[in-house]
Structures are given as structure tokens and as C-alpha cells.
């Protein structure tokens, strides 16, 4: 299934779960703290890599793409 990260706070995160996914999976039966397998998005990893590389090469500080922007949009 595909989940969208909605919010990141410290070591926790909130997900967006569409009704179809809820109906077709057992995800809602999981209890807090119960183990699940998570695989990260390769595009998100690539975006982080590009962002980190750009910062190390002296990206302009006025850029609107920063760690907060990426986190708000589910890439971190």
C-alpha cells in the first residue's frame, strides 16, 4: 500500500490513509506499538540526497526548498 506522511514530529509521524486502503487492508486492526514493515520512497531519498548535496555546495539560503519544506511534504 502507499501511505502519505502528513506530519513529522521528533521520532513520530502522522499518515494519511484513504478509505479504500482502510477497507482493503488490515492496517486499521494494528495496535499502537505493533510492528509493521515500512519501505521508504526512492524519490524521497533522491530528493534528500539532492538537497543535502546542494546545501554542501553552497545553495542560496533564500531557497524555498529546505528541510522544513521537505518534511512538511513528506520527503523527510
> Mind listing the pLDDT tens digit of every residue in the chain (76 residues)?
778 888 888 888 888 888 898 899 998 999 988 998 887 777 777 777 777 876 666 655 667 778 888 888 888 8
Q: Which grid cell is 24?
A: 482493503
C-alpha cell belonging to residue 66: 529546505
Quote the pLDDT of residue 23: 92
Same domain? For 34 and 45 the reply is no
Same domain, 26 and 48: no
Q: Are 9 and 32 within one domain?
A: yes
Number of domains forming the structure of the chain = 2
My answer on whether 18 and 44 are in the same domain is no
Query: Residue 15 in contact with residue 26, Cβ under 8 Å?
Result: no
Q: Are residues 5 and 30 in the same domain?
A: yes
pLDDT at 31: 92
pTM of this prediction?
0.43
Dist. CA 20–CA 5, nearest whole Å: 17
Q: Are residues 33 and 44 in the same domain?
A: no
Looking at the structure, do residues 29 and 47 belong to the same domain, yes or no? no
Q: What range defines the domain where residue 46 resides?
A: 40-76
Do both 31 and 59 map to the same domain?
A: no
How confident is the model at residue 29, as a pLDDT? 93
In this structure, what C-alpha cell is assigned to residue 19?
478509505
Amino acid at each position: 500500500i502507499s501511505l502519505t506522511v502528513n506530519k513529522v514530529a521528533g521520532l513520530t509521524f502522522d499518515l494519511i490513509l484513504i478509505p479504500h486502503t482502510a477497507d482493503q487492508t488490515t492496517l486499521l486492526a494494528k495496535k499502537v506499538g505493533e510492528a509493521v514493515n515500512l519501505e521508504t520512497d526512492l524519490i524521497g531519498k533522491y530528493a534528500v540526497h539532492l538537497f543535502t548535496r546542494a546545501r554542501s555546495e553552497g545553495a542560496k539560503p533564500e531557497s524555498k526548498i529546505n528541510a522544513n519544506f521537505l518534511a512538511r511534504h513528506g520527503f523527510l
